[in-house]
Amino acid sequence: MLVFYKERLAFLSVPKTGTTAYESALAGRADMVISEPPMLKHAPVYRYNRFIRPMFERVCGVELEVMAVMREPVSWLGSWYRYRQRPFMEGKPNATHGISFDDFVLAYMKGDKPGFADVGSQVQFMKSQPNGTGVTHHFRYEDQPRLKAFLEERLNMTITLERENVSPRMELTLSPGVAERFRRKYADEFALYESIP
C-alpha cells in the first residue's frame, strides 16, 4: 500500500495486479509505504477503512481517495496458478504442481477451498464499507497506460516501471464448461471488471 498525503491518495495493493512494480517505482515519492507484512501490504478496503483511514481522518482531518487495480478474473486466477508453480513451491501445500488449471479453478469454486486455491477475491478486496469507504478510482490491470497516466498526472512526475514479482510464463486455457461455470458463479467479479472504463 502506498499513501500520498499531499495528493490525498491511497493506492491499495491488490495481489497479482502488478502493484509491486509501482511500489518499487514510487516508494521514494510516497509518504507512507507498507510493504510488509503481506496482510498489511495487501490490506483490502475493509482493513484500510478500519486502520489507515481513521488515522488520517482523526489526526490530519483529511479523507483520502482510494485507488485499486483489478485484473480480468480468469487472468487473475491464472496468475495465482502460475505463481504457485514456481520451482521452490514444489512439495508445499499451496503449490499447484501436478494440478491442471481446470482443477485449480474448480477447487477455487468450492465453498471450502483447499489451500492451493484459497487466494481470496478481488470483489471482496474492493468491497465498499457501510460508512461509504470504497475504491474511488478503479483501473484495469490490462490497461497500464491509463493507470500510469493517472498516477503521473496526480503525482506530477514521470514513472519508470520494471517488471517485478512475475509469475512463470505458460499458456493457460479453461475448458468451455469450467469457464462457463466460473463466469456464472463469479458474475460479480466479471461485472465489476467490466464496469471499469
Domains of the chain: 2-195 (3.40.50)
Count of residues for the chain? 197
Q: Mean pLDDT score of the chain, rounded to an integer? A: 95
Please name the residue that has the C-alpha cell 514479482. 165
Question: What is the rounded distance in angstroms from the CA atom of residue 41 to the CA atom of residue 19?
Answer: 10
Q: Which has the closest alpha carbon to 1: 50, 46, 36?
A: 36
Predicted local distance difference test score (pLDDT) of residue 167: 72
Rounded to an integer, the average pLDDT of 41-70 is 96
Please say if the pLDDT value at position 132 is more than 80: yes
Please say if the pLDDT value at position 59 is more than 90: yes
Please say if the pLDDT value at position 161 is more than 80: yes
Band the pLDDT of 168: cuts 50, 70, 90. confident
Q: Could you report the per-residue pLDDT of 23-38, keeping only the tens digit for each? A: 999 999 999 999 999 9
pTM equals 0.94
